[in-house]
Structure 1
Amino acid sequence: MLPVHLTLRRDDDAAAPTDADAETLHDALWAHATPDTGLEHVRARAVRQGISVVLYLRARTAPEARQQALRVLDAALAAAPGSHGHSVTLHG
């Protein structure tokens, strides 16, 4: 199992995200995970810069884990109303 740490930021000048925003993202990630994404565990918390997320995935390599993380994140954001206009920063 490999961790992927990322920060999701809104591209507009909206207020800092809330704990509820982080919980909503957490739930959306689980709702859109499929067996091929290999998602095992999710941590999401609101921080001043956006929503900090750590996904733990079954993957052979770190690049494969990052690809899987972005795939499940894209699916979760695509299904959420008003979720357009975000940028993602991968850490590590």
Structure 2
Amino acid sequence: MAFWTYMLKCADGHFYVGHSDNLEARIAAHQSGTIGGYTHSRRPLELVWCETFGSREEALAAERQIKGWSRAKKRALIAGDWDLISELARCRSRG
């Protein structure tokens, strides 16, 4: 069974990161408003990034890691710019 970590861009420009074993159903639930919380008042939403993992633990670990990232680092992930992600990580570790 595959598990997904995903990032949504909210209507207000903020990013939401989550994980699920059924990506399509989870995004539909966010879009319809059946999931309360952060995204409920920030619709419509756009899926901007996702990755599959072999276990729920891996997907959850990725979610937690990405939630701690800066906006710039999240944008680099969306763009697939691993060099920039590495640079931003080095800059943060120096500060």
Structure with higher Rg: it is: 2
Would you say same fold, with TM above 0.5? no
Specify which structure has the bigger relative contact order, considering alpha-carbon pairs within 8 angstroms and separated by 6 or more residues: 1
Question: So what's the TM-score if we normalise by structure 2?
Answer: 0.36
Higher fraction of helix: 2
Question: So what's the TM-score if we normalise by structure 1?
Answer: 0.36
